[in-house]
A and B are shown apart, each in its own frame.
Chain A
Amino acid sequence: MSRGPDLFGSYVPGTSFLHRAPLWAKALGILAVTVAVAAAPSWPVPAALSALLLVSGSAAGVGAREWWRGLAPALPVLVLLALYHVLTAGAAQAADVVLTIVVFLVLTRVLMHTTPLPELLDGVVWLCSPVRLIGADPERIGLAVSLMLRSIPFIVGAVGELRDAVRARGLRPNPVVLVTPAVIATVAYAQRTGEALAARGFD
């Protein structure tokens, strides 16, 4: 099974200031970016933040190829959104919407590149600890988040392999025809993952 598109990136060991920054500081940074984007009157703020994050990420070792791998799968959606907003609300609004999404795509990649997943998992578990009051288990929520990060690229990769299998038989891949085998592959993957987790005592 191929890895599929590298949507979120993964941790690469390093010694940059972002690698060394504690998780709480990164969480505060994310909060600050979110507030800035939400409060921003128009596109220059997300544009500036995108540039700042690109520079910070590059300083932490995110290479041009890695940026491209993260942004390329989102391009069709970004183009469609841009066209829609240009036609309905004007170019400034389109730039604002698209750049806001780019900010969070870049932010996710920088976070994933500089933070080991177990550390992230610890953070999510800590953040979710109040759910204990209603009888839920924060460890499960943390595990679900890490499984989601692992599973989305896997499933997108599985769809790509189905498409290749159809092409290899000389047929034209029809998205409608691919839906059923893709759903079956996804369910099978979920079952295998569940079984593997159960075998390891995470049930």
Chain B
Amino acid sequence: MKHRRLLVLAGVVGVVALVASLSVVAAGSAKPTASHQATAVAAPKVPNAAAIKKKYGGQKITFVGDSVGNGHVRDAALAKRFTKDTGIKVSVVPHPAASDAAYSQLARAFSQKSSSIDVAMIDVVWPGAFAPYLVNLKPKLGAQSKIHAAGIVASDTVNGKLVAMPWFGDFGLLYYRTDLLKKYGYKSPPTTWNQLFTMAKKIQDGEQKSNPNFAGFVFQGNSYEGLTCNALEWIASAGGGHYIDNGKATINNAKARTVLDAIRNQIGKTTPRGVTTYQEDQTEHAFDDGNAAFARNWPYQYGIGAGAGSKVKGKFSVAPLPHGAGGHSVATVGGWQLAVSKYSKHQGAAIEFVRYMTSKAVERFDAITNANVPTIPSLAKDKTVVATNPYLKPATANVARVARPSKFLKTHYNEASKAIYQGINQILNGTPASSVLPGVQSKLNQILKEH
């Protein structure tokens, strides 16, 4: 009798916990699916579908894909179309939203020679580290790679092997509220960081009277790969180098210290105090919910901001990121590639999936529905693509690009980037740059010396 009551109790507790967990998960996934024009354009059909079906139909592959913004919605739509046309079943698994966590997941799978991943999306800084585990795509996709930007194809080629195919590009942009700039008497977006801080302060002070959650400026300040990208823009735009220049760590210099301390002084003043925990999604939510005047993010945010669920639809625009006193505007190069695992049991089917996903038709679909930067230069001039993605206009698209130092670090990139973003996160959380950067610099030099 006693036992039975205990079992009933345990059951009740279990059910309550399950319901609570599920509702949290549901609440968590509800936000990013606020899709916009995604329904207007259908996923393109697969060319040569019949031949592919005959050869690989019925096989099952796993694609470790996107999780930021509407990326997973797009992946699922494309995979569904691919399955319908070719009979190859694609199970789409979103990777962790933080790029360094996604790296760890893949590294774990590759080191275990796991066949559980067939196709994976690879950050622009990873081909060097993962090359030994990836299939050379040159024999089958070499011809298709020629339509993509030569620079990206070159960085996806390791020791003569094409280990990944360019999928979409990325670069940092400044998002700003056109209506608020007008309201507070500004004619144009800021060109220097100091202008940005002044404008952010004035707008924030005014807006907080009616909206206490309003902040001047949001960006990716969390201790993760995204901060390495954000801080590169701050430092390089102030003439403080690119973390590592000519094979030597340069991060500990006066210009870098000045700009990092300037940003540190804004934390909790013109930014939310919690910006040091923000990744891309939190940045996008703050801006698109109408709670920020300025935001630094990748182009995908444009699509969500201009979409149906956005509160800033028609009220924002993009500009090049500001620069420091003696510098000029820059944008960190990002971007994602698709690669096929050497341990995949269905490499043929996986390559066909990559062929489809990196085709001109799919990149056009992705650019129009998801505001991602095409890696095919002719698409970046396509009228419809530019109309939905105004950031592709020369004013923002031609801004000087800066690259993270993966070419010097190769297989050690992830470790070095961690040293960088952990150090800068510490600065943002209140430690002066002068007591953090010497340590980061010596760690970087030590990593450079090790290989």
Are A and B interaction partners? no
Measuring CB to CB, which residues of chain A are less than 8 angstroms from any residue of chain B? Answer: none
